[in-house]
Structure 1
Amino acid sequence: MRPSTPPDALRLAGVDEIGERVYRQLLSVDVAHTDSLAIALDFSPDVVAERLAILSDAGLAVQVASGGFTAVDPRASLRSLADGHARRVDALRSVIPELAEAFDLNRREGARSSRTLVITGPEAIGDWYGRVSLGVEREMLAFDKPPYVVGVQDRLQGLALARDVDWRSLYGRESFNRPGRLDEVLQDIAGGEQARLTESVPVKLALADRKRAILSLSLNEREPEALVTRSPQLIDALVALFELYWDTAEPLVGGGSAGPRIRTPSTGRRTGRPPTPDERTLLTLLSADLKDEVIARELGVSTRTLRRRMQDVFTELGAMSRFHAGVEAARRGWI
């Protein structure tokens, strides 16, 4: 049957063209294994295994006890994904009029004395970020999003935390694509930052004391553009946007040598043997909902080796998915 889905519709779920073909093949059967899918679609088993992992992470497929995979009813899985995207899009659209008004006002007046101004270039943005960060007294709200054009960002944050500033940062998954970024975030958390993780954030943002904000207009690394504002109406809109994302994100806390973990209440008893250090590290990284590639890089292994280790842990826990493994690990007191 010829697909009627709009082109690239599943890309919003992180599924590429090959992944969509694997997904459609899964929809046509009850259970399929990696090898049979590879033969049916004329792909290598590694390619199919990688797409199955992506489909599982997106909640579109689940691994069963036999080791094969089955599709999750798209009426439930895709609707859930679509609803999540819709809420974020609506939230972003809600601030467009105010942002546009601020932008137009600045263009008309063209004066630095106005409440809102546009700045361009890494040096100018770095200078203004320094002013906002050094001037914060009580609270900083931040959306973290690459690229990073301010080299002293973490040092300025450390100074603010030392002054007992309440610093809340919201990270998207792409925040951890740069090697070493995870360690930097863990250090900030250890210093007192409150951090949460979500799929993605709409802009780069630093909002000080609910009075002054700097947010990205362009993420071009060579010629970035940002908006600095003291407009009360715009500040209120940005605070509301931040709180909307914050309320739906998962708390990210330091896990010592084990890495970051999602803060989940562990009401179950500790049972059986304790986890090995490698198992604890893997489980805490998995519970942070990071991509396989990011976790593999942090552990210094290939994605293929990572997935083999994941399967070993799933087998030990009697789990068939990341979510199931997280629940069982919490029940045993492993995380």
Structure 2
Amino acid sequence: MPLPSFAALGIDDVAVAVYRHVVAGAGVADAAGTAAGPTPEAVARAVHLDEATALAALERLRSLGLVQRSAGGEGYGAVDPRVAVPAVVAARADALVEVRAAVPELGALFDEGRRPHDADELTRVVVGHEAVGDWYSRLEHRATTD
């Protein structure tokens, strides 16, 4: 079954293919009988990538907490996706809440930049198609009823 797009988490399709491969190989044991994840070389061969691209994808996944270095340090193993993926989603959700919280401040900066510098001016005159369109869009986005 193909995985859904992880683009909302900042993970491109190449990294998703790498992640799927690492998750599938999470329980592979090496010659000594210890758990060993696939190396960047093995991932590159399996997913049909060059080694640098595979390594970059593995490190991106590692920075998100989806994979970790194997005990020997050469391979990569998957963190249980039932734990790791929800943690990444929660972190992204928190970041989006922070961005949304900045909207009033950004709006105030936007308004300040467009406000006439004459403090006595109480009426705003909108001139030109672009300016009228901009105000129309702002009103449209603020409207809660028709």
What TM-score, normalized to structure 1?
Answer: 0.29
Q: 2:90 aligns with which of 83, 90, 100?
A: 83
Q: Report the alpha carbon displacement of residue 48 of structure 1 after superposing the two structures with TM.
A: 1.6
* CA RMSD across the alignment: 2.7
- Work out the CA distance in 1 between the residues paired with 2:78 and 2:88: 15
The answer on whether the counterparts of 2:65 and 2:79 sit within 8 Å (CA) in structure 1 is: yes
2:68 is paired with a residue whose SS is: strand
1:70 is paired with a residue whose SS is: strand
Which residue does the alignment assign to 1:21?
17
Q: Which amino acid aligns with 2:54?
A: V
Q: Report the alpha carbon displacement of residue 22 of structure 1 after superposing the two structures with TM.
A: 0.6
Which residue does the alignment assign to 1:292?
none
Please show how residues 224-243 of structure 1 align to structure 2 within 5 Å: none
Which residue does the alignment assign to 1:72?
79
2:99 is paired with a residue whose SS is: helix
1:32 is paired with a residue whose SS is: coil
Please show how residues 45-124 of structure 1 align to structure 2 within 5 Å: 45-66=51-72, 67-97=74-104, 99-100=106-107, 103-104=110-111, 107=114, 109-111=115-117, 113=119
Q: Report the alpha carbon displacement of residue 70 of structure 1 after superposing the two structures with TM.
A: 0.9
Unaligned runs of 5+ in 1: 115-335
2:77 is paired with a residue whose SS is: strand
Deviations 1:262-304 (A, max 9, x none): xxxxxxxxxxxxxxxxxxxxxxxxxxxxxxxxxxxxxxxxxxx
Q: Using a 3 Å threshold, how does the CA distance of structure 1 residues 95 and 46 change in structure 2: closer, same or farther?
A: closer
Greater Cα radius of gyration, structure 1 or 2: 2
Deviations 1:134-182 (A, max 9, x none): xxxxxxxxxxxxxxxxxxxxxxxxxxxxxxxxxxxxxxxxxxxxxxxxx
Please show how residues 182-221 of structure 1 align to structure 2 within 5 Å: none
- Work out the CA distance in 2 between the residues paired with 1:83 and 1:73: 16
Q: Report the alpha carbon displacement of residue 51 of structure 1 after superposing the two structures with TM.
A: 1.9
Of structures 1 and 2, the one scoring higher in RCO (CA 8 A, sep 6+) is 2
Q: Report the alpha carbon displacement of residue 35 of structure 1 after superposing the two structures with TM.
A: 2.6
Q: Report the alpha carbon displacement of residue 101 of structure 1 after superposing the two structures with TM.
A: 5.1
- Work out the CA distance in 2 between the residues paired with 1:28 and 1:57: 20
Q: Report the alpha carbon displacement of residue 104 of structure 1 after superposing the two structures with TM.
A: 4.0
The answer on whether the counterparts of 1:10 and 1:20 sit within 8 Å (CA) in structure 2 is: no
Which residue does the alignment assign to 2:128?
none
1:81 is paired with a residue whose SS is: helix
Which residue does the alignment assign to 1:40?
46
The answer on whether the counterparts of 1:34 and 1:45 sit within 8 Å (CA) in structure 2 is: yes
Q: Which amino acid aligns with 1:6?
A: S
Unaligned runs of 5+ in 2: 27-36, 121-146
What TM-score, normalized to structure 2?
Answer: 0.59
- Work out the CA distance in 1 between the residues paired with 2:16 and 2:45: 16
Instruction: Check if 1:2 corresponds to 2:2.
Output: yes
Q: Which amino acid aligns with 1:19?
A: A
Aligned length: 109
1:62 is paired with a residue whose SS is: strand
Q: Using a 3 Å threshold, how does the CA distance of structure 1 residues 57 and 94 change in structure 2: closer, same or farther?
A: closer
Deviating beyond 4 angstroms after TM superposition, the runs of 4 or more aligned structure 1 residues are none
- Work out the CA distance in 1 between the residues paired with 2:64 and 2:51: 20
Percent of pairs with identical residues: 26
- Work out the CA distance in 2 between the residues paired with 1:75 and 1:23: 14
